[in-house]
Each structure stands twice: as structure tokens, then as C-alpha cells.
Structure 1
Amino acid sequence: MNWLTNYVRPKIRTLLGQKPVPDNLWVTCPNCSQMIFHEDHRKNLRVCPNCGHHMRLPAKDRLDSVMDEGFATIELPKVPPDPLHFRDQKRYTDRLRAARAETGLEDAILVAHGTIGGEKAVVGAFAFDFMGGSMGAAVGEAILAAAQLAVLQEAALVIFTASGGARMQEGAISLMQMPRTVLAVRMVKRAGLPYIVVLTDPTTGGVTASFAMLGDVHIAEPGALIGFAGARVIEQTVREKLPDGFQRAEYLHEHGMVDLVVKRSELKATLARLIGLLTEPRKAAPDRPVAEVLPLPSPEAPASAG
């Protein structure tokens, strides 16, 4: 037996070769340090089964988790890739190329249309792993396209936010997306359609200061960081110690900034119920005329004279 174990088995293994063991079989929860098997991690939608900590979810997984089968993503409008020819430690074009190769996305948002629990919806999901989910011209155009599609299909518009704010590499152009996205939201509301925002970790900066806080209903995931400026900046400005849990979903819910804090596993059912309630008046009036979709001016369009 020793001869077989010590001599024959190693020879067979050498001839056949050993399969490499993947180094990503286990995930460590950043909140409680619990080790989670990767399959359990995926099936649980990246929520720790030990402490309930909600880890960040990729945009494609987000759409899969809330939308019914058969949904389709849309091709987003093209924008100039580097309008300011920006460069810091790297060229902006190189950063975009690296982010696209790493994530498989064109920019920091995916837009899809289909149904949620049988209710028609157009869904935009931010991708924080694409340059911190920052909002540049491409994201602004995507939200406008999502709003126009929602009006055309008479569907609810749902946006999942996960962003550090405006994209610094696009300067004033990125700031221009704040009023443009506000106009896109107004288009949906004027059509009498629901606009629901799901605030995920983190939602900050120019995204918070624009379309993210204009929803008919604001839902937040447990523990999500939501705010405009960072806590340290606020403390230095007001010269006061901020309370525990400041800018977290539960704190904002207690103070009326967020309507609901919903676990990720319950989001789909919650969204379906809300969309059904908010669209009930439209279902009772099927002959209601479809609202006209008005195009918004491009940020590159020259100003009219006079």
C-alpha cells in the first residue's frame, strides 16, 4: 500500500497533471469577515448570510435579479470619447479603454426594458466598477434614452444608483448632465408615469444632487451610503461631530429622506407592487393619449444667436 501511495500515485499525478485550484472560491464579508463560498455568495445576491451586509452588485446581475426573463438591454447613444483631451497620470481614453476591458461595459450604466413581476418597466442600473459609477455625457445620454423609452412604452422608469458623482475627466460637460437628467425625469413625470429610484451603496455627489433625489418613491438598500459631500468634509465645514450612522440608509429613512429600506431579496416584489399601485390610474383609463417625447438639446450643440 505504501508503494502505491508513495510511488504510483505521484507518478500518475505527474503524468496527468494537477488541475489548478481557483483562488476565488471563497469571499470574505467586509463587515463581519465571514468566509462565504462563492456559489452561496452568488445565489444570495452578494448578501452576507451571517450579518446581512449588502455588498456591491454588478449592473448585469442587478438587472437579472429584478427583471423578469426576456428583458433586453438597449444600445446607448454614442458620445465623444474624450471631449476635453483630459490627462492626469493617464490619458482619459486609456482609462476608458481599461474600464471597458475590465467590465465588458461601454460606460457606467446599463439600460434595459421588460417587466418586473409582470409590470412594464425601463430599468437603468449603474455600474460602480466602471470608474466609480461616475456620471459623464454617456451616462446622461443613457438616462435621457431610458426616459424617452419609458414614455414611448408607457412604462415605469426605475433607476438603480451607485456612483461617486460627476466624472472629473469631463469637467463642465459632466456637470451639465445634472440638469439634463432632471429634464429627463420631468419628461417621465409629465407623462404620468412612475419614477422610482433605488439608492445603493454608494450614491454621492452630482448623482445625489440631481435625478437620484427626484423619485416618486425612494428605496434604499440596507447600509447604503447616501449623501452629497463626504462626512469628513461636512464635519470640517459645520465643526460638529456627526451622529453615528450619518448618511446611511437607515438614518435617512428615520429622518424622512428615504421612503423604504428594502433587502435585496425583496426588491423585485417591492418594485412590482409599487409599479402596480402607481400605474393603476392609467390602467383604469386605457384611452389616455400617449405623451409626446420632446428631444433635449445635446451638450455639444451651439447656442442659438439672439
Structure 2
Amino acid sequence: MTASMAVADTPVEPSAAQRRGGKRRRWLPFSPWHLLLAPLALGFALPLLWLLLTSVMSDAEINRFPPALWPDGIDLGGYRYVLGNAMFPRWFANSFIVSSVAVASNLLLGALGGYAFARMRFAGSRLLLGLMLATMIIPFQLTMIPTFLVMKELGLIDTLGALIVPALVTPFAVFLFRQFFLSLPREMEEAAWIDGCSRLRVLVSIIMPLARPALATVAVLTFLATWNDLTWPLIAINHDTQYTLQLGLTTFQGQHHTRWSAVMAGNVLTVLPVLAAFLFAQKTFIQSLTSSGLKG
């Protein structure tokens, strides 16, 4: 008893690595990597900061030479002009509808397809997976005319349906779900099968609650792709009431190129939903990228 107490009371000498780490922490209160990452983060944030500051300047301040780096006061005239005199709210609603439907369908169909490729073996499954992934390297410029002809035959041109149908499910969503499902142990599913659960019940009740990182990643990337898309709406939409936000903002910028405060205000309103979506899912987004990997 006395010997054990003596051993417990004996101070443990720190290792050389621990001593070096303690000296580094005393010399620098943060990781040395922050010295590199902080300027990079500032470089990425500067355009957004400049966009925000310019949106609250008056047109006279924006057109001043040399340009003003800081507004003399907060002028919301650009925001009032955008929200009151343009079809901006309608374009915002169109983009929100298209992006929301695309996100929901990719989560549903992508999860079903990814689970089938990850857990079910059927004739030609690997060949079908390879063909599906091969479509990811085909440039959109090669498929936009066939897609346009298909949408025309369906009678969807100049409607939001022409923007929604091609984005209902993407190969990337199926692939990402497959990779994530492969990283999950099969024992949980086998236990559920023994209890009499079907594959669909296992997917909904057991797998999907564990797939929140993959769900968040697919949701964020799909939202970014559909919200920021300009090329396909420019081809498929003709009437201004069906414009998405990106297409409407491009037209608005061309028509009102002298109202730079309104143009900057419109860009700020366009960027805000994207930033909010990423910040909301940032933790699970990074977790999915670090955990799913590229397991075969």
C-alpha cells in the first residue's frame, strides 16, 4: 500500500516533445499554421467586405476617383431601389423554389441510389456505377442542346420545370452517398434484418439518421450549384417573370449599369443565402469530407 502510494506521488517527467510543445505554446498562444491561414482567410473575405461596403455607399461615392474605401455614411438607397423598383423578389422566389426542389430530390433519390450501389449486388451494378460516374466528366456544353430538345418535347421550356427536371438527381450525390454508406458497418443492418425490417425500413430508420454529414454535404453543394447556375437558365428561360436570381441580376446589371449601389445591393442579397447555407451546415459538411473518403 505504501509502495503504491509512493509511486502515485512520484512526479512524472514530461517528454522532450511535451517540453517543446509547452515552450511553443508559451511563445505563441495559437498554432503556427494560423500565421498562414489568417492572411489567406482575409484574402478570401476582402471581396465580400468590399461588396458589402460598396452596397451601402451612394452612387456619388462609388463613382468618385480615387474610389472611397469607407462609406461616409450608411446609404440604403441601393437596397430600396432593388427591392422596390425591380422584379428582384420574384427572381429570388424562383431561385428558392428551384434550389429547394433540387435539394430535396437529390437527398431522396441520391440516398436511394447510393444505398443500392453500396449494399446491393445485381447484374451490371459496377458497370452501371462506372457509366454513371463517367457522365461527371462530360462538359455541360456537350449536353445542353440535347437537354434543351428533351425539355422542349416535354413542354417545359420557359418554365421553372425546365430548371428543376435536369437537377432532380446528380451522379455526384449518388456517389457521395455510396461512399458514406460504405463506411458504415453492416452489423447494424444485419441486426435489423433479423428483426424483420425491410431494406427500405433499414435505410429510413437506421442508416439515414447516421448520414447527417452526407445529407448536409449533398444539400449544401446542390444548393450552391442550382442557386449560382446561370448558363442553363439563360438557355431555357425567355420571359423575365421566370428568371432566376442569377439571370435576373445579370439582366438588371446590364440595364442599370450606372446604379452601382443597386447592383452591389443585389449581389449582397444573392450571396447571403449561400453563406447562410454553408455556415449552417459547416460542421457536418467538414465531417462528411473527412470521414467518407474514397473507399472502393
Give the TM-score category using the shorter length. Answer: under 0.3
* Greater share of residues in strand: 1
In the superposition, the TM-score normalised over structure 2's length comes to: 0.21
In the superposition, the TM-score normalised over structure 1's length comes to: 0.21
**Could you say which structure has the larger radius of gyration?**
2
**Structure showing greater relative contact order (alpha-carbon pairs closer than 8 Å, 6 or more residues apart):** 2
* Greater share of residues in helix: 2
